[in-house]
Amino acid sequence: MSALAETLRAGTQALGLELSEAQHQQLLDYLELLQKWNRVYNLTAVRDPQEMLTHHLLDSLAAVPPLRRHLQTHLTATEEGDAPRLLDVGSGGGLPGVMFAICCPDIEVHCVDTVAKKAAFLQQAAAALRLPRLRGIHARVETLTGPYAVVSCRAFASLAEFTAWSRAALAPQGVWLAMKGKRPQEEIDALPAAVEVFHVEHLTVPGLEAERCIVWMRPA
Ligand SMILES: C[S@@+](CC[C@H](N)C(=O)[O-])C[C@H]1O[C@@H](n2cnc3c(N)ncnc32)[C@H](O)[C@@H]1O
């Protein structure tokens, strides 16, 4: 097993993430695609593959167990049998959207970004990784109407901007999942009364000392 595959496996184990062989391989294939396209498209400032693995993949994978718990307790397919839909806002190279698409194959994952080449990369990744429920959308999030049961973001904007810009895309019972560093108290205090923070969930990322959390929100 390569050093990258070993780090990945140790990381997903530490996160308590049950993944199949095929899913581990998809994660490694995504890492390779990200490195390849990064040379031309400048998708991320991180260049070293081990660093990409811990700072981007494992960092984003840390949000998967909380997302899976949420999906299990709150979401079922629609009456028409359609899969629940998640929108990842300002997804860039696909973080955390692609991690969600790989680890939660029962949901539809749409990754939106204003930069055309990033959305094109995501379409390419969906095909190469055989993820039929993953889509890259080239648009400003403000123009999307959804409805999405979960709207996520990582390294995007303030909580107030994120929730305001994606409000029209959120389903009536939908929730926002914002990945942040340490608890962003000032951003929480700046939220309008129409947005309720119902949980701030601490995350531990294998191989990273930094503080991480998810701010879970819903319309008040
Ligand atoms: C700092 S990057 C974060 C990328 C990725 N989420 C990550 O964690 O690596 C922010 C991304 O948001 C995109 N973006 C900025 N404003 C946007 C908007 N209004 N709608 C959609 N995407 C937007 C940018 O093009 C950029 O790719």
* Interface ipTM: 0.99
Question: H helices within 169-219, ranges in order?
Answer: 185-189
Least confident of 61-65, 143-147, 163-167: 143-147
Q: Residue 81 above 80 pLDDT? A: no
Q: Residue 172 above 80 pLDDT? A: yes
> Strands, DSSP E only, in the chain?
85-89, 108-113, 134-138, 148-154, 170-180, 195-203, 212-219
What's the average model confidence in pLDDT over 76-95? 83
pLDDT for residue 47: 80
pLDDT for residue 78: 57
Q: In which residue are the tokens 């959308």 written? A: 137
Neighbours of 217 (CB within 10 A): 23
- The residue whose CA is least distant from atom 4 of ligand 1 is 92
Q: Residue 30 above 60 pLDDT? A: yes
pLDDT for residue 49: 85
What's the average model confidence in pLDDT over 88-104? 97
Atom of ligand 1 nearest to the CA of 56: 9
Least confident of 6-15, 74-83, 88-97, 169-178: 74-83
pLDDT for residue 166: 98
pLDDT band at 48 (very low <50, low <70, confident <90, very high): confident
Task: Give yes or no for residue 92 CB within 6 A of ligand 1.
Answer: yes
pLDDT for residue 45: 78
Task: Give yes or no for residue 99 CB within 6 A of ligand 1.
Answer: no
Stronger pLDDT, 215 or 1, i.e. the higher one? 215
Domains of the chain, with CATH numbers? 59-219 (3.40.50.150)
Stronger pLDDT, 45 or 80, i.e. the higher one? 45
Neighbours of 161 (CB within 10 A): 14
Q: What is the pLDDT of residues 125-160, one digit of tens each?
A: 999 999 999 999 999 999 999 899 999 999 999 999
> Cis (ω within 30 of 0) for the bond into 132?
no
pLDDT for residue 74: 80
In the chain, pLDDT over 90 holds for what percent of residues? Answer: 83
- The residue whose CA is least distant from atom 11 of ligand 1 is 90
Tell me, in angstroms, the distance from the centre of ligand 1 to residue 80's CA. 32
In the annotated binding site for S-adenosyl-L-methionine, the residues are 90, 95, 141-142, 154
